Structure 1
Amino acid sequence: MHKFLLFLLVLAMLSCENKNLPEKIAITTNWEFKGVDTLDWQSARVPGNIFSDLLEKKMIPNPFIKTNEDSVQWVSKKNWEYKTTFSLSKKQLQKKNIELHFEGLDTYATIYLNDSIILKANNAFKKYTIDIKKSAKESNNLRVVFENFNDIELKKEAEIWYKLPVQNRVYTRKAQFQYGWDWGPVLNSYGIWKEVSIKAWDDVIFSDIYIKQDSLTVTKAVLSADIIIESNIEKFVELETWINSEKILTGIHLKKGENKLTIPIKIDNPTLWWTHNLGKPYLYRFDFKLFRKNKLLDQKIIKKGIRTIKLIAERDTIGQSFYFELNGKPVYAKGANLIPMHSFQDKVTNEKYEKLLSHVVTSNMNMLRVWGGGIYENDIFYDLCDEKGILVWQDFMFACAMYPGDATFLQNVSEEAEYQVKRLRNHTSIALWCGNNENSEAWKRWGWQENRGEKEKQEIWDNYLMLFDSILPSIVAKNSNTDYWETSPKYGRGNPKYISEGDAHDWWIWHDEYPFEHLQEKVPRFMSEFGFQSFPSFETVKYINQKDEIDLKTNAIKSHQKHPKGFELIEKYMKRDYKIPTSDEDYVYVSQLLQAKGIVMGIEAQRRAKPYNMGTLYWQLNDCWPAISWSSIDYFGNWKALQYKAKKAFENVLISTVKSKNGYEIYIVNDLLLETKGTLQIKIMDFFGKEIWSDTSRITVKADASQRVYQLLKTDVDHTKHFLSVTFNNSSSFFYFAKPKDLMLPKEPIERTISKTKNGFSITLKSNVLQKDVFLFTSEKGHFSDNFFDLLPNTSKTIHFKSNSTNLQQLSIKSLQSIQE
């Protein structure tokens, strides 16, 4: 009873304390939408977008299936409006400050409150805050009218005396991929795509807190918190700053208006934040509280890691380095490029962010590049990257275009950039801000300067430099301690410097049809993009077609291939390395093997070249819709062969074998910060398990290094019937002396034993012969712990299938030899 009374007392104290805090009221209910030229209002979801609302009302077909994308294009050509009502209590109306917050409006919007215009918005990447103290009532009508961006873009285009290389989208500050890309649909949306809320407060409020790291040693971290407080009073207040369980108390004499102060913070013997593959991504909890006469006025909590992160881009005897130094240690970047996770951002839940980023960690990736044609991701994305130890290369949202340079546009993007840099600067995971994706390369190499006068070319390039070489780096430097890189790549593949200076995008593969072996011959300092397409999972193919069988010859499949030569290039590359399957199901399977073969060849070559090369980020991690694309994880979250094989290729300790002039060279690449010792065991075997030759030695691999540990000079190998097995400690690698299509793989069945486990199934496989690229698949929902692997002869391998299913009767198994005639 005494405990219960104590609990009620604490609850009462907290309630009393919290009544002085700023009050946030989310405006998520009662929303309706309609076309401006129609009469019928329909219920809507906010946050959301027009396509999601129309789809929920069954007013349009699902644009992700069949050829339905074409039949919904009318949606983007109309004007749309949304409305709601919300109430404020008398107590809320008595607050001295009442603000209306729009976290994201896409894009050209006029906002009416109680039939009066209070805002005209023109940027999907800016937050809008409106003082509504004078106009707010107990009952309020809020209306948002979205104007057709096509009409506005045509007007903006007409104001310039020349035509920019890419038209329409460059004039509008919204997600550029919505206009269509070579992996995504044209689904250009409107809507209130982020949260809408009211914030009501009285005397003081934290306007901004930025925790800067001033210096760091093993024994001490010196930080400072730059704090901005908005105040309606001229009073003395107390600021409590809690770092974990330590408290700093500061007295402040507030003036009316904006108050800026800096609080010094020192942490003895700091625990450092590391990427998950090198240590623990430890986060400190900073809790800021404002008090007046023991009453809590406002509170802000920030989780932040202590670390140093620098981009080292320095001239050297080769050209210019490009690598990230974390806590004074060069860190090899392993990962992929991230595009938006859905064409309609309201469909991306926090659970989906958690799932994808957990896959990133499981796959041994330590960096993601947020690509510049998408969106600045939601807060939860960066929170999870902080917590999981994933570095973020953050592009500004400019991609594959030249942008206008008029004063209005530059002011708009300056406000966007300042908002986004301030929003993200406390995130430990942010490693780099990059100005744009491929804009410079496009201007210099894609033929955009042809048939233009010198004055025209000069103005376009001057506008480029103004934005990416002046405005954006100045905003980053002024508002953060994060490094800035003007454009990715530094040099396009038409410039020979692309392999010796800065970062590179290597699209000789795919676009220029170079063989995969090119990736072994031309290794840049940092590979920030390279990729190859494949078909998605069977589930996704069936979903596109809305058919139970795998059929690749439908118009639906054609409409989900957005590269004009996509099918042709997959086939052309497949013929080089594989026998072309006769069935569509097998073709999907081999297309994934093909993609994985090429990209992993590149990953291994780049890692072997360490420290000349210090990063490999392939294109691309994910899909925004069901598609034939460069992704390694498809629209439904299914891992393709590339994701499974990249997981192995990204391990901290990698075994990699490569053909050389005199034979074969075996490398151990060690990303760990400590040297590693162990037994190196090398075997040449035939496909029935017979050992042809072997050697064993004890080796030591240096810390953070790539080291050639063995040179194999054997010449009496049957390239079509033998393979190389290399093991080092708990890692193993298999190397084949011939292309997959030339291997004389024996055909034997694969034995299976399936047993139920607590959270899925245990599957044990065994065969009398080597089974190449074993692929397990089922219609049951779940995830295989490993797939697309080689099963050694006469050796059991156990796979776990994580699933909520109660049975696994429909498990199917393929291997490369099982599909060949």
Structure 2
Amino acid sequence: MSTHAAKVVATLSSNWTFKEKDSKDEWLEVAQFPTNIHLDLIKHKKIPDPFFERNELKVGWVAEKHWTYRTVFPSPSGLNDGKAYILAFDGLDTYATVLLNGSEILKSDNMFIAHRIDVSKLLSSHGKENELLIHFEPALERAQQVRDAHPDHFWKCWNGDSARLAVRKAQYHFGWDWGGVYITCGPWRDIRLEEYSARLSDLVASVQLADDNKQATVTVTAHVDSPKDANIAGAAKVALSIAGDNNVSGSTLPLESTAEIKADGSSVATFKIDDPALWWPHGYGDQNLYTVTASLLGLDNTIIDSITKKTGIRKAEVIQEVDKHGKSFYFRINGVDIYCGGSDWIPADNFTPRVTAEKYRDWLELMVHGNQAMVRVWGGGIFEEDIFYDLCDELGILVWQDFLFGCGNYPAFPEILESITIESRQNVKRLRHHPSIVIYAGNNEDYQFQEAYGLTYDYEDKNPDNWLKTDFPARYIYEKILPDIVEEDGNGVFYHPGSPWGDGKKTSDRTVGDMHQWNVWHGTQEKYQIFEDLGGRFNSEFGMEGFPHIQTIDSFLSPGSSERYQQSSTVDFHNKADGHERRIATYLVENFRTVEDFEGFIHLSQLVQSEALAYGYRGWRRQWGDSRRCGGALVWQLNDCWPGISWAIVDYYLRKKPSYYTIARALRPLGVGIQREHWDWSVTHARPLPKTKWETWITSSKSKVAKGKLEVRFISISTGKDVAEPLVKDDIEVVSNGTTDKVFTGEVDNVATEPHVLSVTLWVDGKLAARDVDWPQPLKYHSFEDRGLNVRFQLPEKAEGKKRDAQGKILITVEKPLKGLVWEERTGVRVSDSAIDVVPGEEVAVDVFGLLKGDDELSWRFLGM
């Protein structure tokens, strides 16, 4: 073993070309590597920008062709029969045949599976080049062939061609109700040539944390493999160690151990860490990480191979206990209950290889700035890139990870079950060291689909073999294959059969599990003012559409286009939601006075989204203090994969919609709410209630009780004058990690009192902590002219560091209550708050970054402007 050289890895990222298979076209350079076919065709102007106007229709032909990718690379020096020479493919999208020097070495039909192929006997002799060819077949055509070969299965789905169910490919590529049909192919992840006589194939760190958090036991296991004719036992040992990152230090670190290699190729060491530095979600503590390293040593102690991974010491639990509301569903980290306000995540582009590490950071930092604790990686996309989870670890964002099934009746014939098993096990093993991942869910809405179509599901039947004989065979995947994999390889992460799911009860059951509440927008199209009354124990999807920034719309329109209005065919083409016209119109007309100018319409649609999500987040967070009645709320959706009109709260170009700020306010560590009871004006034909009850409350995620002062004011919308004496309460004990409910309650006399807002302000330790304003609904019944708005910018003369970090202030006062003050943000400038309600007698301060004196100040818009 002492003669074994160190492992050598060559990333095959250069010399790549492509062309249509079997054509006489010239080979063209790829746009980047990894890549996919659309990016490469865009580079050479073979297709127009797929996101512009209706070019989606002009590029559909790409998915109907066969494409070939090619590269050449040199053979390693000194080819040695005692070594393995492995071509490693991290991801091929999707139906791929790989040839090395004319010999077929691989056929792949699953874009989520990584492959390792021994090519020791196929490499050319040293000094000669090797040719690597990858042929990609049309995914939809092949999927349709698989579907047709299994006519006994009930092939049906929501969104896209039902053949998508037959192919292990990102399901959103086939089109969804927020994105177009862009069926990609290509080498979408890295390809490497590895040369070794022995290597470390895996490194696992299993953490057990004592109940009092005072001691952690970390069991580190390394796995060694080598060519069949080499002797693993001939290796001297594996050196294992654990060390603290950043501020993690102590006399006991690093801890080191040398372990013998067992017959099965494993080496194990157990480390005890006293007073460990724990990993916490942001806002609850530091994101302490430990570095775990394994080094494979030869007999002369030379390092043959090494693996390093970062992990965190934390205990993550999903608490499901019977209580007065049914059965709870919330998260507990290191013994602390965490209210999981956050977002659902779709892939950040239709063409994922161009999502850079910098863009991932920009997206996830938005969540931290927006006080969001959890991101749910949705099941119709991909297992995200490593950098995504690394950043969640670093930033303290909890991850809910769906397995990759969505909105359909998936088949379960033997070949696809085998592929799904490999795919799922590989990715669970890849992700298991991340402390941010706290739950796996088996699918997105497949149990809802089963209910909608009356497919067979007998919860009491616990025999998996029976499930395969029904018209809902995918139950075998969600309740047998996946839980077994997570149990064996998931490092203790909780498994949930689907989203939504509730112990075999209907997915609409609000007393158990998680739920997707779509009776606002979809379904019965309820008033958004009753969102809080529609929620369950954990609301993992809900939403309201809102138009993106006008610059985003202009990005897909020609300059001076006649299509630049809200009902144009091109604008409608960029909204894929069924019935979006009538739904947007319904919620807009029910609540606001309509306008004709495009920018005004965009602002109103954004206010509808902002208002709707405010009612959801604010009401559900209040319920956290009621025996954890609601354990979290994840909006559909954080992001977009193209410049479209959707439920996203931040658009494709990372331009924040007003709802982003509304959610951020609702999720502040200390929040305050005020709200009057709902009165359905459409049912009562605009006849007001004689009197309307109202309540105030305080929400907190803080670990310590604080003393607060609360003031409630009653302010005329038309005059700006107080219509009653303020209510003030000093020395309120603010409940820690819960709700201080009904601090004030009262009634509004709608006959004797003119329409007025209810304004509540919370001070803690003499400082303004939170504020909220409640408006009589609907807003269309009130006039918002002549608000007496005064805006002052206080900006620095120059930037001390980067201009984007230069901090100034915007100071706002009004003479009459103002609704929905939104800043027109631009690239390089950000604000700390937007979509603001302002009342007379207070000065609201907003931080602004990236503006200096002399720059164009931000413009703004408010309701009724």
- TM-score normalised per structure 1: 0.92
Residue by residue over 1:316-341, the C-alpha shift from the partner in whole angstroms, topping out at 9 and shown as x without a partner, is: 45432211111122211110100000
Partner of 2:6: 21
Contact 1:669–1:706 (Cα < 8 Å) also in 2: yes
Which of 705, 718, 721 is equivalent to 2:738? Answer: 705
Partner of 1:291: 297
Contact 2:757–2:774 (Cα < 8 Å) also in 1: no
Partner of 2:607: 593
Partner of 1:66: 53
1:327-406 aligned at under 5 Å gives the runs 327-406=334-413
Contact 1:537–1:638 (Cα < 8 Å) also in 2: yes
Partner of 1:261: 267
Alignment of 1:142 onto 2:146: no
Partner of 2:834: 787
Counterpart code for 2:204: Y
Residue by residue over 1:740-784, the C-alpha shift from the partner in whole angstroms, topping out at 9 and shown as x without a partner, is: 212333414544444355225644444433332112215655323
152 and 686 in structure 1: CA distance in 2 versus 1, 3 angstrom threshold: same
Which of 637, 640, 644 is equivalent to 1:627? Answer: 644
Counterpart code for 1:142: L
For residues 518 and 765 of structure 1, what CA distance do their matches in structure 2 show?
31
Alignment of 1:133 onto 2:124: no
Partner of 2:759: 724
For residues 252 and 493 of structure 1, what CA distance do their matches in structure 2 show?
46
767 and 215 in structure 1: CA distance in 2 versus 1, 3 angstrom threshold: closer
Alignment of 1:648 onto 2:681: no
Partner of 1:274: 280
Secondary structure of 1:101 counterpart: strand
Which of 782, 789, 799 is equivalent to 1:743? Answer: 782
1:518-597 aligned at under 5 Å gives the runs 518-547=530-559, 550-597=564-611
Alignment of 1:300 onto 2:307: yes
1:636 positional shift = 0.5
Which of 158, 162, 185 is equivalent to 1:190? Answer: 185
For residues 298 and 551 of structure 1, what CA distance do their matches in structure 2 show?
60
Which of 472, 476, 485 is equivalent to 1:475? Answer: 485
719 and 303 in structure 1: CA distance in 2 versus 1, 3 angstrom threshold: farther
631 and 376 in structure 1: CA distance in 2 versus 1, 3 angstrom threshold: same
1:448 positional shift = 6.5
For residues 32 and 805 of structure 1, what CA distance do their matches in structure 2 show?
47
Counterpart code for 1:614: G
For residues 650 and 79 of structure 2, what CA distance do their matches in structure 1 show?
47
1:261 positional shift = 2.6
Counterpart code for 2:58: S
Partner of 1:489: 500
Deviates most, 222-231 or 563-572: 222-231
Secondary structure of 2:473 counterpart: helix
1:249 positional shift = 4.4
1:710 positional shift = 2.1
658 and 117 in structure 1: CA distance in 2 versus 1, 3 angstrom threshold: same
Residue by residue over 1:521-540, the C-alpha shift from the partner in whole angstroms, topping out at 9 and shown as x without a partner, is: 22311101011111111111
Partner of 1:670: 700
Counterpart code for 2:699: V
Contact 2:517–2:535 (Cα < 8 Å) also in 1: no
1:446 positional shift = 4.5
For residues 749 and 674 of structure 2, what CA distance do their matches in structure 1 show?
18
798 and 328 in structure 1: CA distance in 2 versus 1, 3 angstrom threshold: closer
Counterpart code for 2:614: V
Contact 1:684–1:725 (Cα < 8 Å) also in 2: no
Counterpart code for 1:693: E
Contact 2:67–2:136 (Cα < 8 Å) also in 1: yes
For residues 709 and 514 of structure 1, what CA distance do their matches in structure 2 show?
26
Secondary structure of 1:677 counterpart: strand
230 and 91 in structure 1: CA distance in 2 versus 1, 3 angstrom threshold: same
Deviates most, 179-188 or 85-94: 85-94
Residue by residue over 1:686-710, the C-alpha shift from the partner in whole angstroms, topping out at 9 and shown as x without a partner, is: 3555333212212112222122142
Counterpart code for 1:525: R
Secondary structure of 1:727 counterpart: strand
Q: Which runs of 5+ in 2 are unaligned?
A: 458-464, 678-690
Q: Which runs of 5+ in 1 are unaligned?
A: 1-16
Partner of 2:425: 418
Deviates most, 290-299 or 475-484: 290-299
Counterpart code for 2:73: F
Partner of 1:164: 155
For residues 712 and 260 of structure 2, what CA distance do their matches in structure 1 show?
73
1:602 positional shift = 0.9
Counterpart code for 1:741: K
For residues 655 and 644 of structure 1, what CA distance do their matches in structure 2 show?
15
Counterpart code for 1:151: E
Residue by residue over 1:539-589, the C-alpha shift from the partner in whole angstroms, topping out at 9 and shown as x without a partner, is: 111112233685223322111010121121011111111111121110001
Contact 1:402–1:460 (Cα < 8 Å) also in 2: no
Counterpart code for 2:108: A
Counterpart code for 2:514: D
Secondary structure of 1:658 counterpart: strand
For residues 745 and 494 of structure 1, what CA distance do their matches in structure 2 show?
47
Partner of 1:693: 725
Secondary structure of 1:168 counterpart: helix
Contact 2:409–2:472 (Cα < 8 Å) also in 1: no
571 and 490 in structure 1: CA distance in 2 versus 1, 3 angstrom threshold: same
226 and 254 in structure 1: CA distance in 2 versus 1, 3 angstrom threshold: closer
Aligned residues: 796
316 and 731 in structure 1: CA distance in 2 versus 1, 3 angstrom threshold: closer
745 and 235 in structure 1: CA distance in 2 versus 1, 3 angstrom threshold: closer
724 and 493 in structure 1: CA distance in 2 versus 1, 3 angstrom threshold: farther
Partner of 1:237: 237
Higher normalized helix content (fraction of residues): 1
Contact 2:450–2:472 (Cα < 8 Å) also in 1: no
For residues 215 and 679 of structure 1, what CA distance do their matches in structure 2 show?
39
1:447 positional shift = 6.0
554 and 198 in structure 1: CA distance in 2 versus 1, 3 angstrom threshold: same
Which of 485, 509, 514 is equivalent to 2:520? Answer: 509
For residues 646 and 505 of structure 2, what CA distance do their matches in structure 1 show?
24
275 and 96 in structure 1: CA distance in 2 versus 1, 3 angstrom threshold: same
Deviates most, 313-322 or 151-160: 313-322
For residues 125 and 291 of structure 1, what CA distance do their matches in structure 2 show?
32
Residue by residue over 1:438-489, the C-alpha shift from the partner in whole angstroms, topping out at 9 and shown as x without a partner, is: 0011111256689xxxx99983445122111101100110112111100111
474 and 240 in structure 1: CA distance in 2 versus 1, 3 angstrom threshold: closer
Contact 1:778–1:810 (Cα < 8 Å) also in 2: no
780 and 396 in structure 1: CA distance in 2 versus 1, 3 angstrom threshold: closer
Counterpart code for 2:54: T
- TM-score normalised per structure 2: 0.88
